[in-house]
């Protein structure tokens, strides 16, 4: 299947700093990328849908000014957690899709905010 | 909001036994997918079943879909210790790789 990578896999930061997470589709062009958040022992909750070259669509309750999403190319989307706080600590997972293929998930990024 | 609800929430079985996990959902769907997640890792796509399909097989996996009851089941036959993981169902309402809505997940433990 297609490969989606995320970087970094783990990040620890101080409260108040911003963290950028990259999601790359390595062997296909992803017209759409999705960002999910998963708290311990819970399910994945969709945060936003990102289409290349356009603004992301955020799910209800997700602050777009706090979680900045950029999908500048067909192979790269970034999620920036601005002014991170301990409650933002979570597992962030992206997925990428093209209408012709299934949705593929990245390995996830573990964010810990101290 | 969560679309899928799996049951049981946790399942512990002996290696070699079959594991059956159920998922119910609330709205009409285009397709339903099952994923596996090992602890602290990403998701692995297991199988997709479309709304006009009733059953699909993939290796030791068997998935059924009952759209009248809005439910699906995942059967893993002859389980192995390596099957230990969390399993999620996810619904796709519109198709064309639109956003997925995940259930709460089932934690499966297979004892060697």
Q: What is the distance between the alpha carbons of residues A50 and A69, in angstroms, rounded to a whole number? A: 7
pLDDT, tens digit, for every residue of A12-26?
A: 999 999 999 999 999
pLDDT, tens digit, for every residue of B65-78?
A: 999 999 999 999 99
What's residue B34's pLDDT?
A: 95
Task: Judge contact between B90 and B2, C-beta under 8 A.
Answer: no
Quick check: B42 and A93 CB within 8 A? Answer: yes
Name the B residues in 36-95 with CB < 8 Å from any A CB: 40-45, 48, 88
What's residue B107's pLDDT?
A: 94
Q: Does A32 contact B at CB distance below 8 Å?
A: yes
Tell me the percentage of chain B whose pLDDT exceeds 70: 95
Select the residue of B2, B40, B44 nearest A43 (Cβ to Cβ).
Answer: B2
Q: Does A5 contact B at CB distance below 8 Å?
A: no
Neighbours of B96 (CB within 10 A): 10
Q: In what order do the strands lie in the sheet with A76-81?
A: A4-7, A19-25, A76-81, A67-73
Quick check: A103 and B97 CB within 8 A? Answer: yes
A77 Cα distance to chain centroid: 7
Flag residues of chain B having pLDDT under 50: 1-2
What pairing do the DSSP bridges indicate for beta strands B71-76 and B61-66? antiparallel
Contacts of A103 in chain B (CB under 8 A): 45, 97, 100
Q: What is the distance between the alpha carbons of residues A45 and A93, in angstroms, rounded to a whole number? A: 10
Quick check: A105 and B96 CB within 8 A? Answer: no
Secondary structure E strands in chain B: 5-7, 10-14, 19-24, 31-37, 43-50, 55-58, 61-66, 71-76, 85-92, 100-102, 106-111
What's residue B13's pLDDT?
A: 95
Quick check: B97 and A105 CB within 8 A? Answer: no
Quick check: B97 and A32 CB within 8 A? Answer: yes
Q: What is the distance between the alpha carbons of residues A14 and A10, in angstroms, rounded to a whole number? A: 14
Burial class (CB in 10 A: 0-12, 13-18, 19+), B25: buried
The token pair that represents A3 in the structure block: 């490969």
Neighbours of A48 (CB within 10 A): 23
pLDDT, tens digit, for every residue of A36-89?
A: 999 988 899 999 999 888 889 999 999 999 999 998 888 999 999 999 999 999
Q: Reduce the DSSP state of residue B82 to 3 states and report it.
A: helix
CA distance B71 to chain A (A): 18
What's residue A42's pLDDT?
A: 87
Quick check: A110 and B102 CB within 8 A? Answer: no
Task: Judge contact between B37 and B85, C-beta under 8 A.
Answer: yes
The residue of chain A with its CA nearest to that of B31 is A102
What's residue B22's pLDDT?
A: 94
What's residue B1's pLDDT?
A: 40
What's residue B2's pLDDT?
A: 46
pLDDT at A29 over 90: no
Contacts of A93 in chain B (CB under 8 A): 42-43
The token pair that represents B80 in the structure block: 């192995």
Best of A43, A48, A58 to disrupt the B interface (most B CBs within 10 Å) is A43
Q: By C-alpha distance, which of B82, B35, B103 is closest to A42? A: B103
């Amino acid at each position: 299947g297609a490969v989606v990578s995320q970087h970094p896999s783990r990040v620890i930061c101080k409260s108040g700093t911003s963290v950028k997470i990259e999601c790359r589709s390595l062997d296909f062009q992803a017209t759409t990328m999705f960002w999910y958040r998963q708290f311990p022992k819970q399910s994945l909750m969709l945060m936003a849908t990102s289409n290349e070259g356009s603004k992301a669509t955020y799910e209800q309750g997700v602050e777009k000014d706090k979680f900045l999403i950029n999908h500048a190319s067909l192979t790269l989307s970034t999620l920036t957690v601005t002014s991170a706080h301990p409650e933002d600590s979570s597992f962030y997972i992206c997925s990428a899709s093209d209408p012709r293929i299934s949705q593929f998930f990245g390995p996830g990024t573990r964010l810990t905010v101290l | 909001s969560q679309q899928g609800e799996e049951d049981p929430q946790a399942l512990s079985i002996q290696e070699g036994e079959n594991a059956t996990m159920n998922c119910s959902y609330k709205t009409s769907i285009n397709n339903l997918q099952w994923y596996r997640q090992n602890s602290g890792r990403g998701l692995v796509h297991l199988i997709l079943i479309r709304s006009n399909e009733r059953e699909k097989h993939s290796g030791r996996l068997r998935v059924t879909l009952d759209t009248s009851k809005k439910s699906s089941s995942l059967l893993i036959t002859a389980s192995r210790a390596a099957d230990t993981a969390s399993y999620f169902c996810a619904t796709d309402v519109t198709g064309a790789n639109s956003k997925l809505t995940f259930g709460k997940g089932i934690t499966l433990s297979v004892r060697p």
